[in-house]
Amino acid sequence: MHYTTLGRTGLNVSVAGLGTGGFSRLGLKSGLTEDQSARLIHEAVGLGINFIDTAPSYGTEGVVGKALKTIPRDQVVVATKSHVHRNNAWTSPEKVVASLDNSLRTMGIDTVDVFNLHGVLPDEYTYAIETIAPVLVEQKAKGKIRHIGITENPITDFTNGMLTRALRDDVWEVVMVGFHMMHQGARRNVFPVTRAKGVGTLLMFAVRSIFADPPRVAREMRALAEKGLVEKWLGETKDPLGFLIHEGGAANMTEAAYRYVRHEPGVDVVLFGTGDAEHLRANIEAINKPPLPEADREKLAKLFGHLTGIGLDGHEGRTR
């Protein structure tokens, strides 16, 4: 496993991070018991992963807590979250603190290493910074939070609008951002600022869900080619990303997707979800491989660098 420093937090983190939400939720959505899912966390830690990302809405904090009972606390970095707006209502500062306290109880820990505001939209940011951030600073002073972060929702905020604002404010030590081979906007909008200011970055949507489904890539390319948004030939082939698979390149599309984001300047931790030990090992192996050949990276930038919002859980892609 390779490790890096998470921005100015000073936390030493694995470049591969275990996400406990998404489509698998540590296998809970596919029938695993909590004990089986906890064993999957143990396997991940045994393979070198030391960053675990969860949230109350994932329903996996209890599983993380089960695993942490037999993992030395200083061997893992735990991140969880709270919403600022949900079900058409603002989350009060008191409820955010209650959510934090409940997360600590559920996981059986005294401090959360990174506490993120969850999926904040651009029109929610003023409330987040003015009403909620001061309370998080207070909780940090009390020792319940080590570092404060914020995550975007790229499914709707596909041009990094919220993070563009948030990165002007120094309270955020960590951000979570969507970035992949066909959604490259963070290279312009986010990473130059995070690198300059020492803000740690957590990367989501590296593979999910488009690159786990090769036929979907072909369908997306046909639709985009018909609109004149990508080169015509990309819509005429069944394997538009086949140029990435070659000797010296990637072995498959999933590996290419992980290697692409892992080595992007500005990316610290690549998050992925899994409910299967074999899938876990394959993802870790891919993330720890060398960068894609430079010619392949340049071709991806040329072909898709202008696109935004492609393949993000069915979100309709748009261009800048």
* Ramachandran angles phi, psi of 272, nearest 5°: -145, 155
- pLDDT exceeds 60 at position 315: no
Residues contacting residue 191 through CB under 8 Å, at least 6 positions apart: 201, 264, 265, 266, 267
Residue ranges in 47-168 assigned as alpha helix (H):
61-68, 93-107, 125-127, 133-141, 161-166
Strands 12-14 and 89-90: unpaired
pLDDT at 126: 98
Give the residue carrying structure tokens 């008191």. Answer: 94
Q: Which CATH superfamily is domain 3-208+259-290 in?
A: NADP-dependent oxidoreductase domain (3.20.20.100)
What tokens were used for 8? Answer: 């100015």
Residue pLDDT, tens place only, 182-191: 999 999 999 9
Q: Name which of 138-142, 167-171, 308-312 the model is least confident about.
A: 308-312
Per-residue pLDDT band at 208 (split at 50, 70, 90): confident
pLDDT at 311: 86
Residue pLDDT, tens place only, 32-67: 999 999 999 999 999 999 999 999 999 999 999 999
Residue spans per domain, the chain: 3-208+259-290
User: How many whole angstroms separate alpha carbon 40 and alpha carbon 67?
Assistant: 9
pTM: 0.94
- pLDDT exceeds 90 at position 238: yes
- pLDDT exceeds 80 at position 317: no
Mean local confidence (pLDDT), 250-261: 97
As a whole-number percent, the residues of the chain with pLDDT over 90 amount to 92
